[in-house]
Chains A and B, each alone.
Chain A
Amino acid sequence: GDSVTQMEGPVTLSEEAFLTINCTYTATGYPSLFWYVQYPGEGLQLLLKATKADDKGSNKGFEATYRKETTSFHLEKGSVQVSDSAVYFCALGNTGFQKLVFGTGTRLLVSP
């Protein structure tokens, strides 16, 4: 079945450092790919998405490119802030609705 693999955390960075969180997937067909973010004490919210190969999703300085040849959707940000501290989930959707399959999440901790 479909699955998503994320790098384990926590990822600990200093403010203004470069961020990469790796995500790879296994799926049949042509899934859509998503990054969701969960701030402490809150539910998940969509950060960015890409619906086909070579698409780049971007939002709030975060970017991820849908790489079909490497089945990857790595999340990047050039300069993280303390307010980016959260848990980041990679997910894929491969049906007509929103039966998303989530990775295990990667916790990001940014210190001043």
Chain B
Amino acid sequence: NAGVTQTPKFQVLKTGQSMTLQCAQDMNHEYMSWYRQDPGMGLRLIHYSVGAGITDQGEVPNGYNVSRSTTEDFPLRLLSAAPSQTSVYFCASGQYTGELFFGEGSRLTVL
């Protein structure tokens, strides 16, 4: 009963380093998305995908890259980490009912 799995749960980076946050879901959902959660700002959409091979930008896409080669996986890449990208990142998936299923989150600190 895995649902949405995110790795890693915690990561510390230095400014300028790159990394990939992994997200996998086993519910055969077409829709997947990445949000970041910051104090006082709620959740903000970074990128989303409505199916394999299709991605689009959300509200705060700068500094992030995504791809969707399979239905199951939706990795988020930080190209050159900046302190402003210190945040908690959530991956979510869903179908056309409006309900999103979230992973447990990945806490990223950029020094």
| Bound Cα distance A44, B35 (Å) | 11
How many residues of B sit at the interface, in one of the four size bands? Answer: 20 to 34
Contact B98 A34 (CB under 8 A): yes
Distance in angstroms from A25 CB to nearest chain B CB is: 13
Contact A98 B42 (CB under 8 A): no
Chain A residues, CB < 8 A from B35: 102
Residues of B whose CB lies within 8 Å of any CB of A are 4, 31, 33, 35, 40-45, 48, 50, 58, 90, 92, 94, 96, 98-105
Other-chain contact of A44, B44, B48, B58, B102 (Cβ < 8 Å): B102
Contact A102 B43 (CB under 8 A): yes
Most chain B CB neighbours (cut-off 10 Å) among A36, A89, A93, A99: A99
Contact A42 B104 (CB under 8 A): yes
26 A-B pairs with CB atoms under 8 Å apart are A32-B98, A34-B98, A34-B99, A36-B100, A41-B104, A42-B105, A43-B90, A43-B102, A43-B103, A43-B105, A44-B100, A44-B102, A49-B98, A49-B99, A51-B98, A89-B42, A96-B96, A97-B48, A97-B96, A98-B31, A98-B94, A98-B96, A101-B45, A102-B44, A104-B42, A105-B42
Chain A residues, CB < 8 A from B96: 96-98
Contact B42 A103 (CB under 8 A): yes
Contact B4 A43 (CB under 8 A): yes
Closest to A103 in B: B42
Other 4 A-B pairs with CB < 8 A, given A43-B92, A97-B96, A98-B31: A43-B105, A97-B50, A99-B45, A104-B42
